[in-house]
């Protein structure tokens, strides 16, 4: 119980009963992951104290880092070294996932499951040596087939997400640019005009800078920056708290190089 109380105090609160402590801890984890707190998460076969220990370990990694952590200027979109993987043999925990039916696995397992080589960056801010989690979600499509979503998470706080592209824009650079221009027009008010169409290795891309997204009152949502582009029949998002130049640099290492 002392561990829970100490953690709650460190979050700026006051000690409360066990169930409330458990909710506060989960809310703190969600806040650090940049997602709204989720209510009603069920935990079986694990005491609140064990979960607190796991959270404290993640916070310690965030504050002090590890000896082998890469030295980069980027501010992560979630704590460096944070993972939704459950260590220490704990079972029965339902934790947030990036999308429906997502499963966390190794890169080799992910590529075997999806049946193709997963496109990914090769950049000092995001490369295979920094891969931390690979999430794969597979959803049956009405009429046959399967939609595949992939998220590759890097210890630097960057993640790259791939999903099925809209068929009408696949292979059509003009249609892609028009779509991104429409997105920029629609998002102009909610991004203070900062969202814009750009290119990545000559391919149309859509950039929403870090902190550009705002609430209705004009206040920044504090969201990470995103670069979106099409790669074959996939739409790719490169996400991270970093400069526009860094995001575009990472995206350029994923997109096809010009001939």
Q: What's 40-54 look like in SS3?
A: CCCECCCCHHHHHHH
Average pLDDT along the chain: 74
For residue 19, the tally of other CB atoms under 10 A from its CB is 9
For residue 37, the model assigns a pLDDT of 36
Asked if residue 104 lies in contact with residue 135, where contact means CB atoms within 8 angstroms, the answer is yes
For residue 225, the model assigns a pLDDT of 94
Q: What is the mean pLDDT of residues 205-222?
A: 93
Alpha carbons 222 and 242: distance in angstroms, whole number: 12
Range with the poorest average pLDDT among 45-49, 138-142, 206-210: 45-49
Judge whether residue 14 has pLDDT over 50.
no
The angle that helices 18-32 and 2-10 make with each other, rounded to 10 degrees, is 50
For residue 101, the model assigns a pLDDT of 85
For residue 203, the model assigns a pLDDT of 94
Alpha carbons 190 and 208: distance in angstroms, whole number: 11
For residue 78, the model assigns a pLDDT of 52
Instruction: Fill in the DSSP letter of residue 4.
Output: H
Range with the poorest average pLDDT among 74-78, 93-97, 126-130: 74-78
Q: What is the mean pLDDT of residues 102-118?
A: 94
Q: What is the mean pLDDT of residues 200-229?
A: 94
* Cβ neighbours of residue 117 closer than 8 Å, sequence gap 6 or more: 111
For residue 127, the model assigns a pLDDT of 96
For residue 142, the model assigns a pLDDT of 83
CA-based Rg of the chain, rounded to a whole angstrom? 20
% the chain with pLDDT above 90: 53
Judge whether residue 26 has pLDDT over 50.
no
Closest among 78, 30, 79, 25 to 52, alpha carbons compared: 25
Alpha carbons 234 and 167: distance in angstroms, whole number: 9
% the chain with pLDDT above 70: 63
Q: What is the mean pLDDT of residues 58-81?
A: 40
């Amino acid at each position: 119980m002392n561990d829970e109380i100490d953690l709650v105090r460190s979050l700026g609160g006051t000690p409360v009963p066990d169930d409330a402590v458990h909710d506060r801890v989960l809310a703190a984890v969600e806040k650090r992951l940049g997602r709204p707190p989720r209510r009603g998460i069920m935990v079986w076969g694990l005491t609140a104290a064990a979960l607190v220990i796991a959270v404290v370990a993640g916070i310690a990694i965030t504050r002090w880092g590890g000896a082998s952590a890469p030295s980069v200027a980027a501010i992560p979109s979630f704590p460096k070294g944070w993972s939704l993987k459950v260590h220490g043999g704990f079972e029965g925990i339902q934790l947030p996932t990036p999308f429906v039916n997502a499963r966390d696995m190794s890169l080799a397992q992910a590529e075997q499951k999806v049946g193709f080589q997963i496109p990914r960056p090769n950049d000092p801010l995001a490369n295979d040596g920094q891969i931390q989690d690979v999430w794969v979600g597979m959803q049956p499509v009405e009429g046959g087939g399967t939609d595949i979503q992939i998220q590759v998470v890097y210890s630097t706080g960057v993640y790259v997400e791939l999903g099925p592209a809209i068929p009408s824009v696949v292979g059509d650079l003009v249609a892609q640019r028009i779509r991104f221009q429409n997105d920029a027009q629609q998002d102009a008010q909610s991004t203070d005009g900062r969202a814009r169409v750009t290119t990545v290795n000559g391919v149309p891309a859509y950039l929403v800078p870090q902190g550009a997204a705002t609430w209705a009152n004009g206040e920044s949502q504090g969201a990470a920056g995103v670069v979106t582009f099409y790669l074959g029949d996939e739409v790719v998002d490169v996400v991270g708290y970093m400069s526009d130049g860094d995001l575009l640099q990472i995206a350029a290492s994923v997109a096809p190089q010009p001939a």
